[in-house]
């Protein structure tokens, strides 16, 4: 099998890249290890930055998002039993975020890819990327029990944090920067209308809690839990009681309970692999970097990488110039590191470390007070939360594609 761009992984990064390349007249093959149901149903992100929503619209993947997604102009910070609304729009000159689940983004992009004529191979597991440093890279993969080879001009490693593509970068070239946190998030999905119309981020002496949503009738809730926690250690009753404690306010706000339909634990990690390119292999999304979910940045970074790579490959096709491909890693990493910084800061602001001292508790509260009382501090949070601009602009990028 032969193609111009071999794309490993049909998560948001790989699917969006395939769509943008199709628009730019660059052919590609997408290899996805899992089946379609897995890709479309895995519960993960829920918040799209405004720039991400703009990219999806310009790529022709925004119609259902605009009908069913929920535009949010603010978030609530909760601490000391008090509530403070961060008015994202007022602080950023009108920017907002969109509540639209990753599962739905993936469904929309899979449907478009199939309508574009594919190819998108489910159950096709990449085993290795070979010859990344040559002009003729190849992806060895297994599909329906048979081994096969995809010959490419370029390979896009969009295979997530546990994928194989990163391994094709020689050890002497790779640099890894990482931090693991001594806690994780227990996440539940519940069939109950959200108890607040915006997201609530709560700092509590017992640990962080987050109230989010998937739709007007489905809540998504998270609790900070110790590292290594198993979901089965928490009964539904335990989860609700703990959420009530951490989200409690001095006013008459109450938490609505409902049937829990899913429960899982995610470890928290920060990770960056540099460079994001080796020869003709380009890493995008979680394959190259991970952030703790606190800042809701992971999916948005994956989208940014896909846009930057699609633009560079389109430019190469149009002009024969490698200029944007050569700049790919550095261009992405500038934005990645801003998201790493923000995600780490917000995690530190809202979580309680197992060894936190009373002094550190007071500092957290002072920082939260500062965000609540200073327009400058609030603006800093609001700008980062609604998203850092894409170099070259989202519209320009998607219009290319």
107 is catalytic: no
List residues bridging with 176 in a β-sheet.
273
Smallest gap from residue 290 Cβ to ligand RFL (A): 7
The most distant pair of C-alpha atoms in the chain lies apart, rounded to whole Å, by: 65
Catalytic residue among 201, 222, 278, 328: 201
- For residues 101 and 214, is the Cβ–Cβ distance under 8 A? yes
Instruction: Using alpha carbons, select from 396, 297, 301, 394 the residue that is nearest to residue 55.
Output: 394
Residues of span 190-219 touching ligand PHB by CB under 6 A: 199, 212
Residue with smaller CB distance to ligand PHB, 62 or 293: 293
d(CA 358, CA 355) in angstroms, rounded, equals 10
Question: Which of ligand PHB, ligand RFL, none sits in contact with 331, Cβ below 5 to 8 A by type?
Answer: none
As a three-state string, the secondary structure of 35-52 is: CHHHHHHCCCCCEEEHHH
Phi, psi dihedral angles at 162 (to 5 degrees): -100, 20
Q: Does 159 bind ligand RFL (CB under 6 A)?
A: yes
d(CA 140, CA 226) in angstroms, rounded, equals 39
Q: 207 burial class (0-12, 13-18, 19+ CB within 10 angstroms)? A: buried
**Six token digits for residue 206:** 């017992």
Catalytic residue among 12, 22, 72, 100: 72
Question: Which of ligand RFL, ligand PHB, none sits in contact with 294, Cβ below 5 to 8 A by type?
Answer: ligand PHB
Sketch the per residue contact string, 266 through 295, with ligand PHB: x for CB under 6 A, - otherwise: ---------------------------xx-
Stretch that binds ligand RFL, among 4-12, 90-98, 107-115, 361-369 (CB under 6 A): 4-12
Name the strand (E) or helix (H) holding 227: none
Q: Does 387 bind ligand RFL (CB under 6 A)?
A: no
Binding site for ligand RFL (CB under 6 A): 8-14, 31-34, 39, 44-47, 102, 125-126, 158-160, 163-164, 185, 187, 266, 285-286, 293, 296-300, 302
Binding site for ligand PHB (CB under 6 A): 45-47, 199, 212, 220, 293-294, 296
Active site residues: 72, 201, 293, 297, 385
């Amino acid at each position: 099998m032969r193609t111009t761009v071999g794309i490993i992984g049909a998560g948001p990064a790989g699917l969006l890249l395939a769509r943008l390349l199709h628009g730019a007249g660059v052919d590609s093959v997408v290899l996805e290890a899992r089946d379609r149901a897995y890709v479309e149903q895995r519960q993960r992100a829920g918040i799209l930055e405004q720039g991400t929503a703009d990219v999806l619209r310009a790529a022709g993947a925004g119609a259902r998002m605009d009908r069913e997604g929920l535009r949010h102009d603010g978030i609530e910070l909760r601490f000391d039993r008090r509530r403070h609304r961060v008015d994202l729009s007022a602080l950023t000159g009108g920017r907002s975020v969109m509540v639209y689940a990753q599962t739905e983004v993936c469904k929309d992009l899979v449907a478009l890819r199939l309508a574009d004529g594919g190819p998108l191979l489910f159950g096709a597991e990449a085993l290795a990327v070979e010859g990344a440093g040559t002009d003729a890279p190849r992806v060895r993969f297994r599909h329906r029990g048979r081994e096969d080879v995809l010959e490419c001009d370029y390979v896009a490693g969009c295979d997530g944090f546990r994928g194989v593509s990163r391994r094709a970068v020689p050890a002497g070239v790779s640099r890894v920067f990482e931090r693991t946190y001594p806690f994780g998030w227990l996440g539940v999905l519940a069939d109950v209308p959200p108890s607040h119309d915006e997201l609530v981020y709560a700092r509590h002496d017992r640990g962080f809690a987050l109230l989010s949503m998937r739709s007007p009738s489905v809540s998504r809730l998270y609790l900070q839990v110790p590292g290594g926690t198993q979901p089965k250690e928490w009964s539904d009753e335990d989860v609700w009681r703990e959420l009530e404690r951490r989200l409690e306010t001095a006013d008459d706000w109450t938490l609505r309970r409902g049937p829990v339909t899913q429960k899982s634990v995610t470890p928290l990690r920060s990770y960056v692999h540099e460079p994001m390119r080796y020869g003709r292999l380009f890493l995008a999304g979680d394959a190259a970097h991970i952030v703790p979910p606190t800042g809701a940045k992971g999916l948005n970074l994956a989208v940014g990488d896909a846009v930057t790579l699609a633009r560079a490959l389109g430019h190469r096709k149009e002009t024969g110039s490698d200029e944007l491909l050569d700049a790919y890693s550095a261009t992405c990493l500038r934005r990645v590191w801003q998201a790493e910084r923000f995600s780490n800061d917000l995690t530190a602001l809202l979580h309680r470390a197992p060894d936190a001292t009373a002094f550190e508790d007071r500092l957290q509260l002072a920082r939260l007070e500062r965000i609540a009382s200073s327009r400058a501090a609030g603006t800093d949070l609001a700008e980062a939360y609604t998203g850092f601009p894409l170099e070259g602009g989202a519209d320009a990028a998607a219009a290319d594609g």
